[in-house]
Structure 1
Amino acid sequence: MKSLFETETQQLILKRIENLNEKTQANWGKMDVAQMLTHCQKPLEVANGTLHLNTKIGFAKKLMFKLFKSAMYNDKPWQKNLGTVREFRITDPQEFASQKNKLIQVINDFSQLKEKTNWPTHPLFGDFTTEQWGKMQYKHLDHHLTQFGA
């Protein structure tokens, strides 16, 4: 699995983002391209420590999420139309250019953290290693860029 901490992988993701434009259509899902760009910022902001989620889940759900934790960063692609947490759902109109620029900045900020060891605890899945954070962030971006044919 590729990692967003690999310079070549980071550059490939940024190039794919640059290939998007306001008229890029999704191959599946409900978000338009500007909403997707905003959505993709959220998990990176959680990892960067700039977004704190107050997601409360019970013991049974916490156990279920732990069972699926490795799916966040393994080599198997995510299914289309997976659900997302409420805080990551973007339904309001978004401005394409500003959200594209912000996503690029958030990716660049995250990619500088490859030596970080004190990551925030993910509100649903618990703790991740640096390697797992890098793979998970790549996998999320790859999933949505594929959704928009980039």
Structure 2
Amino acid sequence: MKTIFDPSTRTELINRINSLNEHSRAQWGKMDVWQMTKHCTIWFEWIMGKNNPTYKQEWLGRIFGKMALKSNTKDDRPMQKNMPAGKQAVKEKGGDVEQQKKIWINLIAACEHYSNPAFIHDFFGKMTTEQIGVFAYKHADHHLRQFGV
């Protein structure tokens, strides 16, 4: 399975991010390209532990989280379309797409040295490093496919 911790996978994602521009249009969902890139930078900062996030699993996640995590990380199947963005949703519109791309690329590159043992996904709960790597790839891939790259 692809993981964000594999150098060739990071290179693939960075190349795909570089092919986005302010004219890229979503094939599904409500986000424009700036909102998507901003969402992804916020999401990667969250898993990396940037800006001192508070990690806590939601109560519904305590019931269904492990089952959903297993389903989402057991194979190479991509994430389904129109999944909710969660707490990292971006409501504001209009921003510098190129700036967000640079931030996102730097965060993906930083995954080479990933270390955040405190990370707890708000729905899935505590995840292994392997699960984080697979899900981080799938999350980035999902949004890049959303914009046709």
TM-score by length of 1: 0.87
Contact 2:49 2:116 in 1 (8 A): no
1:52-131 aligned within 5 A: 52-53=53-54, 57-58=58-59, 60-74=60-74, 75-85=76-86, 87-93=87-93, 94-113=95-114, 116=115, 118-131=117-130
Contact 2:28 2:81 in 1 (8 A): yes
1:81-113 Cα deviation digits (max 9, x unpaired):
11121x211121232111111111111122322
The answer (yes or no) to whether the contact 2:45–2:107 under 8 Å persists in 1 is yes
Query: Which 4+ residue blocks in structure 1 deviate beyond 3 angstroms?
Result: 53-56
Q: Which runs of 5+ in 1 are unaligned?
A: none
- Is 2:2 the counterpart of 1:2? yes
**1:120, distance to aligned residue in structure 2 (A):** 1.6
Q: CA deviation at 1:140?
A: 0.4
**Equivalent pairs: percent with the same residue?**
34
Q: How far apart are 1:50 and its partner, in Å?
A: 1.2
Aligned residue pair count:
146
Report if aligned partners of 1:119, 1:128 keep a CA contact under 8 Å in 2.
no
Listed as ranges, the gaps of 5+ residues in structure 2 are: none
CA separation of 1:17/1:117 partners in 2, compared to 1, >3 Å: closer, same or farther? closer
Q: What do the CA deviations read for 1:23-70 (whole angstroms, capped 9, x no partner)?
A: 011111110111111111233212211152466632x44211222112
- In the alignment, the residues of structure 1 paired with residue 6 and residue 139 of structure 2 have an alpha-carbon distance, to the nearest angstrom, of 15
